[in-house]
Amino acid sequence: MENKAIPYGRQDITGEDIKAVIETLQSDYLTQGPKIAEFETEFAGYVGSKYAVAVANGTAALHLSTLALGVNVGDKVITTPITFAASANCVRYCGGEVVFADIDPATYLLDIDKVRALLESSPMGTYKGIIPVDFAGRAVDLEAYKQLADEYDLWILEDACHAPGGFFLDSQGSRQYCGSSRFADLAIFSFHPVKHIAAGEGGMVTTNDEKLYKKLLQLRTHGIVKSEGAFTNTIDFAGGKETYPGWYMEMQMLGYNYRLTDFQAALGMSQLKRADEGLQRRKELARRYKDAFSGSPFIKGQSGVVEGHAYHLYVIEVDDRLGLYNHLRESKIFAQIHYIPCHLMPYYRQFGWKEGDMPSAEAYYRHCISLPMYPTLTSQEQAFVIEKVISYYDR
């Protein structure tokens, strides 16, 4: 019997989600309206941050963050090569220079020792910030990064696109949730359909810093302010007498239109209600993959079972990865590769990055493959995936 296609990730849209969107479409607001503030409050509550700013997508969240942090032409920022290109590109949008540091082959995350080595080998002030990525959903130990960042006067922008609900255990054994911004200046999320919370497109920036929060709000809408206390032109110029006229607004910095729509926020909020449930299911799937593959001679590494991991992806490392990829496709199992190392993208090669620069990331890329991982993946479907992986190597 023909099986149905099994992608590596997919959204789950329920009747409740559809109802929430329709209700919003029937309201007075189509673009940014009251649902945005509601979504921001709920999302901030979920990750444990003081503020949240909803934006058009995760890439816009990154761009606004680098703008708010003041990245300028030539500013050097460190990030990982094993991420979606947007984590690095946001530095380039501001004219900054991306400096890649290698990954830790055990966690697949930016290796803090490699970052420290970079910092130690350069004059103080060479670097401006670090963008650690909670790759695959595994939370970066931001307490350790914060210590390092403080030593070198750097900011931290956490790319938490893969990890809403994820956490690491700090030095006291307490859970520190991704995006809480306890140890980061800013954190960002994406609501692309393969992510934990889908809004079609969508993103969020979280922070505990009021100044950055206000700047993000302004940058999200063209750099415009509408409140009287913030105006710099005179009342007279604005055309008022004793107060500014009702129509008056000022564009005070170069901003963008990175707004999210109200109906996307309604979908995001409806999805957020089920986020913990989805996370629970992802953890069950991860445990089953790990149990199925532990001790298998063809497995060189895998995401495994890690406390606080949010399992956006479940990665295994294998020999003959291309053979396995094609074998799975024959059974309509669409595993995926995350990621082609960023520093070897033609765009980044032009800055001098080349093979051999990031040995761990490059070795990881030769073997990694992400297996299907999403809450509606049934146990039978997962068993089918596992059987197909094992049968490929047991031929």
Ligand X SMILES: Cc1ncc(COP(=O)(O)O)c(C=O)c1O
Shortest gap between Cβ of 342 and ligand X (angstroms)?
10
Shortest gap between Cβ of 57 and ligand X (angstroms)?
4
Residue from 133, 136, 217, 335 binding ligand X (CB under 6 A): 133
Give the nearer residue to ligand X in terms of CB position, either 128 or 162: 162
Edge-to-edge strand ranges of the sheet holding 97-100: 51-55, 203-207, 186-190, 155-159, 127-131, 76-79, 97-100
Strand-pairing partners, residue 257, are 221
The Cα 171–Cα 175 span in angstroms is 10
Shortest gap between Cβ of 246 and ligand X (angstroms)?
36
| Max intra-chain CA distance, the chain | 85
Per DSSP, the three-state class of 91 is: helix
Nearest one of 388, 343, 394, 332 to 7, comparing CA atoms: 332
Q: Is 58 in the site for ligand X (CB under 6 A)?
A: yes
User: By rule CB under 6 A, what count of residues binds ligand X?
Assistant: 14
Residue 234 CA from chain centroid, whole number: 42
Q: Is 264 in the site for ligand X (CB under 6 A)?
A: no
Shortest gap between Cβ of 310 and ligand X (angstroms)?
12
Residue from 10, 92, 114, 162 binding ligand X (CB under 6 A): 162
Pairing of strands 224-225, 203-207: unpaired
Q: Is 255 in the site for ligand X (CB under 6 A)?
A: no
Q: What does the chain come to in residues?
A: 395
The Cα 203–Cα 184 span in angstroms is 17
The Cα 311–Cα 294 span in angstroms is 17
* Binding segment (CB under 6 A) for ligand X, from list 57-65, 66-74, 358-366, 379-387: 57-65
Residue nearest to ligand X (CB): 58
DSSP structure string for 349-378: HTTT--TTSSHHHHHHHHHEEEEP--TT--
* Binding segment (CB under 6 A) for ligand X, from list 46-54, 83-91, 242-250, 383-391: 83-91
Shortest gap between Cβ of 195 and ligand X (angstroms)?
7
Residue 224 CA from chain centroid, whole number: 27
Give the nearer residue to ligand X in terms of CB position, either 48 or 193: 193
Encoded tokens for 58: 């995760």
The interface mask with ligand X, positions 183-222, x = CB under 6 A, is -------x-x----------x-------------------
Q: Which residues bind ligand X (CB under 6 A)?
A: 57-59, 83-84, 86-87, 133, 159, 161-162, 190, 192, 203
